[in-house]
Amino acid sequence: MKIVGSSKSVAGKVCFVKLDGNLIKTDVATFNTNAVTLEKVLDFLAELGYDYAVIEDFENIGRDSGIKNGVEWESLKSLVEKVKRSKGSERCGAIGIFVGFVRGISRGKKVEKLEYEKYEELYEEKLKEIENKLKSNPGIVEVKIYHRDGVLKPGEDIIYVVVMGEHRKNVWKPLEESMELVKKELPIWKKEVFTDRAIWAHDYER
């Protein structure tokens, strides 16, 4: 699902999202921000299969939330469902999942947030290359990787890797290989923001 600030040039299944006081109003339901975050609402819409979420007043909302205009959005559930609908899924019986999330303490310091930046011109191409490398393992039918960018707080998910294979023994090797390939080849960079300083962590584990 793509997050946009305007309905111009969108096609497919579209849901409009509006923040009104402490309410998040969508075409399908209304949520109270005291109980549900905007990110959880977007997860919900992705799981319903929407192609676009159009957020009104995106300039202000995006600045406050750290969500970028035009970003792709997936939840773990929506990504798994996409994989299970893939061609060849009928001969599969196992899915392996890796979830990476923001730690609260890094290098002995309290983490305030992480900031991720993608090199957009190459990102999708390199992501597809990594997925295809992992799919070349025996018994693997589909691989999907989703890496969030923008601002993420401790406890929030960073990356999902979903590997579908014919048998459970098939999925473990490519699942383990996936993060090494992501760290070496995916053009995305992380800045760790601590209470006293910020560090671009190019040479550290994501």
pLDDT at 203: 46
Quick: pLDDT tens for 39-49. Answer: 999 999 999 99
pTM comes to: 0.88
Around 169, how many Cα atoms within 13 Å sit in the side-chain half-sphere? Answer: 1
How many CB atoms neighbour CB 54 within 10 A?
A: 20
SS (H, E, C) 88-131: CHHHCCEEEEEEEECCCEECCEEEEEEEEEECHHHHHHHHHHHH
Residue 139, token pair as written in the block: 């018994």
Quick: pLDDT tens for 163-195. Answer: 999 999 999 999 999 999 999 999 999 999 998
Just give the CATH number of 76-200: 3.90.1170.40
> Which of 118, 104, 111, 120 shows the shortest CA–CA distance to 199?
111
Distance from C-alpha of 138 to C-alpha of 192, rounded to nearest angstrom = 37
CATH 3.90.1170.40 boundaries in the chain: 76-200
**Is residue 145 pLDDT above 60, yes or no?**
yes
> Which of 107, 73, 91 shows the shortest CA–CA distance to 196?
107
pLDDT at 204: 52
Report which of residues 66 and 166 the model is more confident about.
Answer: 166
Distance from C-alpha of 164 to C-alpha of 95, rounded to nearest angstrom = 4
